[in-house]
Structure 1
Amino acid sequence: MLEVRLLGPVELWAGGRPLPVGEPRQRTVLAALACEAGRVVTAETLIDRVWGEAVPARARHSLQSHLARVRGALRRGGVDPLVRRSGGYLLDLPADQVDLLRFRALAGAHGDVAQLRSAVRLWRGEPLAGLTGDWPAAMRAAWDAERLLAVVAWAEAELATGDPAAVIGPLGAIVREQPLAEPVAVALMRALHATGRTADALGQYDALRRRLADELGADPAPATQAAHAAILTSNEAAAVAPLEPVPAQLPADVADFAGRAGALAQLDKVPALAVIGGSAGVGKTALAVHWAHRGAARFPDGQLYVDLRGFGPGGTAMDPGEAVRGFLGALGVPAPRIPADPAAQSALLRSRLAGKRLVLVLDNARDSDQVRPLLPGAGACVTLVTSRNQLTGLVAADGAKPLHLDVLDHDEARELLDRRLGRDRTAAEAEAGDAIIGLCARLPLALTLAAAHAVMQPGLGLAALAEGLAGTRHRWAPLAGDTPDTDVRAVFSWSYEALTLDAARLFRRIGVHPGPDFSAAALGFADGLRELTRSNLITEHAPGRYRLHDLMRAYAETLETDPAVRAEDEARLFDHYLGTAFTAAMLLVPARSAPVVPIEAAGQPLADQEAAMRWFAAERAVLLAWAARTDGDRPWQLAWTLDTFLYRQGPWHDLVTVWERALATVLDEPARAYAHTRLARAWTLLDRAAEADRHYRLALELHERAGDRDGQSIVHHEMAILCERQGRMRDALAHAEQALEISGYGSANTLNTIGFYRAQLGDFAGALEFCERALALFENSSDGDDSRAAAWDSLGFIRHGLGEYDAAVECYETALGLYRQLGDLYWVADTLVHLGDTHQACGRTADSTAAWREALTIYEDLGHANAAEVRQRLSAGIPQGS
């Protein structure tokens, strides 16, 4: 088997023996291909990685020679995995045949001591040893940061399994190499303390504290100080506290849970996976949540919960990818690190769950396929799935234990009423209680609603309640279930008919809302909402936000029988959301061009950008639900309003969803061209270059057919950004220059982009001219502060490249001030990193440290992957990637 080794000197092995690779540039070509095995690497990227700024005149010819020699070395291993593809080259090797990629797969197995141990052992010294140039240096720094994270994770796992002595030697060696790497020092302190060498552990802390003070003028991080304090107080539990969040997502337990002793006992015996089935309203969710709460001590690593909406309103079940991404976020995976491919997302979830003891409640599933991407692999997790379907696929193929939940028996139903109403009240009217149990078909949801009605009206006798149920029972057909005994509509209707006229009208209006929840502002009539909440028809699950049980929503949907009134209600609700979304979108980018498809709806007023961001965050799921259930121009209008918010916040999978829905419904060609462009931009953010390129070219075709030169210019500008993300800087510059040529005038954004790319390619003088022209246009236009900030950031990069460090600092600080005003935390942090690099370059160590530490704090708050790079800067005291 062929193997490429990068975690040390670059080596090629086959059949247990090394193969000659050639001189350093050939080893660089092999490394550049191997670190992305299975993916196409463009010729431009290879040239940049091999020669950096010193590109020879005949670089492509030289690259071909190096590739030919690399191919010859690979063939000596008995295979020819080097494949020429359109646009570049692909090393067609499985990930486990490249030590770097194998390391990453093993390092992702959090808590699995064996896999983490194997990951750490793959390192043979300095990665890419013997190779020179900017790219090998940058990779060494980045990969070493990954190694430190893996070493710390391995140390934590060894501590958790009771073998702290195993890590002391390796950790000590790393601390000697990198004395400012705090997480490694903390792990060493914990290991020393766990083996009884507390004095040595405290000595490590003192040495670290002195080094930080002397070299960085800083104190140890809060986590380091906490570990020190825990050792001082011999609080071992705190000293080895987990570094990852412990999710606690379960809904509140049922306060008066009754019966189900047999079902609870069966769940106690479930080794890994159970499917709780039964008719609607039978109490599947209540049982699963109650059992998970009751057994919380068995699951110290937390509880995960998701409503998969398998039988929710509108018949739109949750995409399993959305649930997987939600779980990954709860387990501490930052959004930018979640892969785009659904299979890769599920694999990452399984890795995160490996070795952990969690309970997962997958509620309201539609079918087995919806559940499988969420299931852990082998391990100590227990998963409970609830569904109205039997999910025989999970039972047959995945070994799930089936648990069919029927209605309560009579004694259990009596216990429920006793707990809700009090024994004195039920004993005083025992026959009426029995009648209520029969009329409610012993269905827990129906009994709970009937009991709630009785609690709200303490003067109402149980006999009167039973009489009311009996009097209306024949008027409603079964809402769910497969027998007449499961008729909950009698209870729902009884509660509905007790409402005031205004509250009843409001409840019917809720029936056209797409869910999953709604705000008081959307529905209005606060008194009516309070009445519905008191009647247990809706629940205020967060201040000012309400939702319905899915059965109750289904019931509400049937109440408005006048099609004209229903259409009017839906239009009023949609216009509220669309109008408010339009207001919010314009607050985020005041200079934004009007939408191609006009938006004339009016919604609620919003004060400022901060209020707009809060509103979008609260209503995102509702807006996505509207986009999924409407047609015509509506999905396009919603996508247009959501675009800026989703772009800034990072749920870029949702950007893909809304723009794909827009393309599926809108007919107007200019609107379709715009949608193709924005969808391509979303795919660019997700590093799906092929999809992005396809949609950009479709947009270009539409713009060219319409003779829309401005549209063509915009698309080429966006294609430049796609090339930049692929490392194809020369192609990026070519597209940006084509955008300028097509438009016929100097768009400020385009000029700034051209300048930035010229600077990236080393043409700082030419770059300066373009960016100064861009800034002059920005300062005399209505473009937003984010555009001006970008121009100042580009000028900072250029001035730094020219060695004009004081001028670079002024540029970066101007950009920083603008980004702070916008509240754009990501770009604040990004600019702080660049500012710190410039301070460091001119010897102002204290200033660079302050900038980097603030950037690190922001990245950590955002859960962004760039935090690791900033930590490396702080540890090494030198800029990287500038």
Structure 2
Amino acid sequence: DPEERELALSRLLDFYLATAAGVYALERPGDRLVDHLEPTGHTGLRFANRHDAQDWLYSEAGALLACVCQSSGPEALRRAIDLLWAALDLAESGANSKQYEAAASLMLDAARACGDLRAERRALVTLSNAHLGAGRFAQADKEARHVLELSHDAHDPLPDCWAFNHRGVIAIYQSRHEDGEKYLTQAIEAFRTGENLPGEASSLCNLSRVHLAMGRTASAVALARKGIDIYDSMGHSLRGANARYALGIALTRSGELAEATNSFLEALEIFRDSRQRLWEGMTLFRLAEADLAGDSPAQAASKAEMALTVLRGIGGEWRRGNVLTVLGHALGGIGQSGRALVCWREALAIYEDLGSDEAADVRRLLMRVNAEQA
């Protein structure tokens, strides 16, 4: 019977939302999102530890996302979108990113069809996050910008916080450093207003990346350390790994390579333990950069090749281009100039297809090599 079916689906949605909220709270203690989710009629499962919680989330991913896609009616819409947000590890890890993105896009269309502004803003955040993880920065920025353009809801401040944070991260990747500093400063202020310390720590670590790009290395290191202090004080294992990743980048740039490597290795262990393939691959890439800076090209080549393997099919082409560029440098350092050229040509094709600024740097590399061989 259709009515009984809808009631059963609603109960299942309640169960998934309540349980996913518990998983989110275990992974991100102190994060205020769990205080701003739609109420449910089910208490959900409770887990003894974060590993059991992760096991549940990834094993239930297919059914959970299918439940979201079947819950686009006005009575269930807000709960379905909140379930997507609470289950964002499915997108960030790369494990179920395509299915997550499809569900987020469907929920955005449903929210607009229902004229539900609160649901639309939250759906935009989930879709922006999906595009960001896949390396589609223009689309991610478009969705985050729409969040901020829609009427502000004083009773639902979280979409603004994360939209500012997303726009700041995207600006980093697009080398718009002044914009990045502006958006991330706004994100920090918004998170502080909402007393959301983990969100503030995330924006501080992202701001570290901006300061590094602007040549403010000491400030970049200090900001990343502050992010680590906040995460560690709240018992954040996974997010603390993200902060150590940011610190490792800053320390590599400042020439403190031994400490940078230790920071990356600490992050890598946590990312692997948390099944975060995207960040596992990116940390291997950053370790390769540190090895190159320390004049260890053979080690750098090994880590860059591992990064390409881990990132296969996730993270987007822009990130793949970055790894290929570093791999080319490493291969050149061990006398494999032919393989280095192959890497750089592939990276150039990626950057040109994306219209990325990095294309000019790789083009100069290839011109220099060609001139040396002439």
Taking the aligned partners of 1:770 and 1:736, their CA distance within structure 2 comes to: 11
Counterpart code for 1:757 = A
Q: Out of 240, 256, 260, which is 1:767 matched to?
A: 260
Q: Which residue of 1 aligns with 2:309?
A: 817
Shift of 1:758: 0.9
Tell me by how many angstroms 1:766 deviates. Answer: 1.9
Q: Contact 2:141 / 2:166 at 8 angstroms: preserved in 1?
A: no
Alpha-carbon distance in structure 2 between the residues aligned to 1:708 and 1:577: 23
Task: State which of 118, 132, 135 in structure 2 corresponds to 1:633.
Answer: 118
The aligned residue for residue 588 of structure 1 is 91
**Which amino acid letter does the alignment assign opposite residue 748 of structure 1?**
A
**Given residue 635 of structure 1, which amino acid in structure 2 is its aligned partner?**
E
Do the aligned residues in 1 keep the contact of 2:171 with 2:179 (CA within 8 Å)? yes
Question: Which digits, 9 at most, give the CA deviation of each residue in 1:142-186, with x for residues without a partner?
Answer: xxxxxxxxxxxxxxxxxxxxxxxxxxxxxxxxxxxxxxxxxxxxx
Change in CA separation of 1:816 and 1:683 when aligned onto 2, cut-off 3 Å:
closer
- For residue 700 of structure 1, the aligned residue among 168, 173, 188 is 188
Structure 2 CA distance, aligned partners of 1:771 and 1:832?
A: 19
Residue in structure 1 matching 2:323, options 801, 807, 831: 831
1:779 matched residue in structure 2 = 272
Closer, same or farther: CA 808–758 of 1 in aligned 2, 3 Å: same
**Where does 1:33-182 land on structure 2 (aligned, <5 Å)?**
none
Measured against aligned partners, the alpha-carbon deviations of 1:425-469 in whole angstroms (never above 9, x if no partner) come to xxxxxxxxxxxxxxxxxxxxxxxxxxxxxxxxxxxxxxxxxxxxx
With over 3 angstroms needed to count, the CA separation of the structure-2 counterparts of 1:720 and 1:762, relative to structure 1, is same
Cross-structure match for 1:719: 207
Higher relative contact order (CA 8 A, sep 6+): 2
**C-alpha distance in 1, partners of 2:153/2:113?**
10
The structure-2 alpha-carbon separation of the partners of 1:675 and 1:631, relative to structure 1 and needing over 3 Å to count, comes to: farther
1:695 Cα deviation (Å)? 4.4
For 2:365 and 2:91, the matched residues in 1 are separated by: 33
Q: What letter is aligned with 1:794?
A: R
Contact 1:774 1:791 in 2 (8 A): yes
Pick closer, same or farther for the CA change 1:857–1:838 going to 2, 3 Å: same
Q: Indicate if the aligned counterparts of 2:94 and 2:315 stay in contact, CA closer than 8 A.
A: no
Partner SS for 1:777: helix
Distance 1:835 1:691, change over 3 A: closer
Q: 1:871 aligns to what?
A: 363
Q: Which residue of 2 aligns with 1:807?
A: 299
Do the aligned partners of residues 791 and 638 (structure 1) sit closer, same or farther apart at CA in structure 2, a change above 3 Å counting? Answer: same
Change in 2 beyond 3 A, CA 1:824/1:802: same
State the AA in 2 paired with 1:814: M
Q: Output the amino acid matched with 2:308.
A: L
* Alignment counterpart, residue 738 of structure 1, candidates 226, 244, 247: 226
**For residues 736 and 837 of structure 1, do their structure 2 counterparts lie closer, same or farther at Cα, with a shift above 3 Å needed?**
same
Q: Which stretches in structure 1 are left out of the alignment for 5+ residues? A: 1-522, 525-567, 593-607
Deviations along 1:532-561, one digit per CA (max 9) or x if unpaired, are xxxxxxxxxxxxxxxxxxxxxxxxxxxxxx
Q: Which runs of 5+ in 2 are unaligned?
A: 1-68
Q: Does 1:862 align with 2:360?
A: no
Is residue 2:198 matched to residue 1:710? yes
Query: Residue by residue, what CA displacement relative to the aligned partner does 1:190-220 show, whole Å, maximum 9, x if unpaired?
Result: xxxxxxxxxxxxxxxxxxxxxxxxxxxxxxx
**How far has the Cα of 1:799 moved from its partner?**
1.2
- Separation in structure 1 between the aligned mates of residue 344 and residue 292 of structure 2, nearest angstrom: 17
Following superposition, the deviation at residue 856 of structure 1 comes to 2.7
* 8 Å Cα contact 1:636/1:666 also seen in 2: no
> Contact 2:324–2:343 (CA<8 Å) still a contact in 1?
yes
Q: Tell me, yes or no, if the aligned pair for 1:635 and 1:661 is still in contact at 8 Å.
A: no
CA distance in structure 1 between the aligned counterparts of 2:305 and 2:93, rounded to whole angstroms: 23
Q: Which amino acid aligns with 2:91?
A: L
CA distance in 1, matches of 2:220, 2:72: 49
Asked whether 1:748 is paired with 2:241, we answer yes
Among candidates 117, 136, 142, match of residue 649 of structure 1: 136
Change (3 A) 1:645 1:854: same
Post-superposition Cα deviations, 1:485-541, rounded to whole Å, max 9, x if no partner, equal xxxxxxxxxxxxxxxxxxxxxxxxxxxxxxxxxxxxxx99xxxxxxxxxxxxxxxxx
Cα shift at 1:676: 3.8
Instruction: Tell me the alpha carbon deviations over residues 689-721 of structure 1, each in whole angstroms, 9 at most, x when there is no partner.
Output: 555444434443444455543232112112112
SS in 1 for 2:152: helix
Larger-Rg structure: 1
Retained in 2: the 8 A contact 1:655–1:679?
no
Matches within 5 A, 1:352-367: none
Equivalent pair of 1:696/1:715 in contact (CA under 8 Å): yes
* Contact in 1 for aligned 2:257/2:294 (Cα 8 Å): yes
The Cα shift of 1:850 comes to 2.0
Contact in 2 for aligned 1:836/1:849 (Cα 8 Å): yes
Q: Which moved more, 1:817-826 or 1:862-871?
A: 862-871
Aligned to 1:792: 284
Number of aligned residue pairs: give it: 295
Secondary structure of the residue that 1:737 maps to in structure 2?
Answer: helix
Q: 1:713 to 1:577 in 2, by over 3 A?
A: closer
User: In percent, how many aligned pairs have the same letter?
Assistant: 19
Counterparts of residues 192-341 of structure 1 (less than 5 Å): none
Between Structure 1 and Structure 2, the one with more helix by share is 2
Q: 1:626 to 1:727 in 2, by over 3 A?
A: farther
**2-side partners of 1:624 and 1:719: how far apart?**
33
- Superposed displacement of residue 628, structure 1: 10
Cα drift, residue 804 of structure 1:
1.6
Query: Which amino acid in 2 is paired with 1:643?
Result: S
Structure 2 counterpart of 1:729: 217
The residue type equivalent to 1:589 in the other structure is E
In the alignment, is the contact (CA less than 8 A) between 2:311 and 2:320 conserved in 1? Answer: yes
CA contact (8 A) 2:248 2:264 kept: yes
- Would the alpha carbon gap of residues 686 and 875 (structure 1) be closer, same or farther in structure 2, given more than 3 Å must change? closer
Q: C-alpha separation between the residues in 1 aligned to 2:178 and 2:356?
A: 25
Q: Shift of residue 614 of structure 1? A: 6.5
Q: Which amino acid aligns with 1:770?
A: S
The verdict on how the C-alpha distance between 1:871 and 1:678 changes in structure 2, with shifts beyond 3 A counting, is closer
Amino acid of the residue matched to residue 828 of structure 1? Answer: R
Deviations 1:271-325 (A, max 9, x none): xxxxxxxxxxxxxxxxxxxxxxxxxxxxxxxxxxxxxxxxxxxxxxxxxxxxxxx
Amino acid at match of 1:841: G
Which stretch has the larger CA shift, 697-706 or 750-759?
697-706
* 764-773 vs 860-869, greater mean Cα deviation: 860-869
**1:864: how far off?**
3.5
Deviation at 1:765, TM superposition (A): 1.8
Q: Please state how far the C-alpha of 1:827 moved relative to its aligned partner.
A: 1.2
Please list the CA deviations of residues 733-792 of structure 1 after superposition, one character each: whole Å capped at 9, or x if unmatched: 22111211233357111112111211112221221221122222222224x211111211
The answer as to whether partners of 1:819 and 1:825 remain within 8 angstroms in 2 is: no
* Deviation at residue 587 of structure 1 after TM alignment: 4.1
CA contact (8 A) 2:248 2:263 kept: yes
Distance 2:177 2:361 in 1: 25
CA contact (8 A) 1:713 1:743 kept: yes
- TM-superposed CA distance for 1:818, in Å, is 1.2
The corresponding residue for 2:39 is: none
Deviation at 1:730, TM superposition (A): 2.9
Distance 1:628 1:680 in 2: 30
CA contact (8 A) 2:145 2:163 kept: no
Change in CA separation of 1:643 and 1:823 when aligned onto 2, cut-off 3 Å: closer
> Structure 1 804/693 Cα, relative in aligned 2: closer, same or farther at 3 Å?
closer
